[in-house]
Amino acid sequence: MKHIALLLLIGLSLSLCNLSERFKKSGSSSSSSGAVSDNEGSPEKGVATITQAATLAGGKEAKWDRQGMSFTVPAGWTETSNESKIFSWRSSDSGSANLIVNISPMDESFPADVSIKAFYDGARTRAKNGEVDELKWVEIDGLKGVQFREATPEKGDEPRRLQWMAYRKYLGQVQLVNLMLASEGKDFERHKDAMYAILYSTKITH
């Protein structure tokens, strides 16, 4: 689909609108899926493999100065949005991949720890339903968050996302950082190594 970025932003809005609903769900159930990891005590370090890192050779820095964040993207990627709360880049090929980052400011009293656990539990439920095929706690640039990957969609032109969510304190605000890398389902495998490399290249002030 030509408007995948728009679909991803719609999906992001829906996921954030469901935040309060996720608070109501408990995380008491466990999963038997090997793709789901309860490594909450010591999250996995987000480090690209040699194969993944190779996709960034000759790449460039994508800087989001107003939010104190930066990424390394492959050569040929271009910036598509740089606003106060949304930042995005995309690849130049026909089956494009996208980097989309969204910042959501919260009240000082917002229960970030409860919220991030709710996001994890929500993704774990999706994994049980076959909608997510990878889920774990991952630390990127010293910040712990929830990383999950959606399963291959039924239709090849539907979006498939690799997503990492975390809370940080920045410029006096509690913020939800929602970082997505995505493409149409039929092109995901072709872009997968670059997506993981971009994700793990993240530099984030907190």
pLDDT of 118-147, one tens digit each?
A: 999 999 999 999 999 999 999 999 999 999
For the chain, give every domain's residue range: 4-24+33-204
Q: What is the CA radius of gyration of the chain?
A: 16
What is the percent of the chain where pLDDT is above 90? 76
Tens digits of residue pLDDT in 14-29: 454 444 444 434 333 3
Q: What is the pLDDT of residue 11?
A: 52
What is the percent of the chain where pLDDT is above 70? 82
Q: Is the pLDDT of residue 45 over 90?
A: yes
Tokens of 178: 């929602």
Provide the whole-model pTM: 0.84
Q: Residue 105 forms beta bridges with which residues? A: 175
- pLDDT-derived band at 35, boundaries 50, 70, 90: confident
Which residue has better confidence, 14 or 64? 64
Average pLDDT in the chain = 86
Q: Is the pLDDT of residue 34 over 50?
A: no
Spatial CA neighbour of 170 closest among 48, 85, 93: 85
Q: Residue 64 forms beta bridges with which residues? A: 69
Q: Residue 148 forms beta bridges with which residues? A: 135, 163
> How many other CB atoms are found less than 10 A from the CB of residue 13?
11
The architecture of the domain spanning 4-24+33-204 is: 3-Layer(aba) Sandwich (3.40)
Residue 186 is given by DSSP the state G
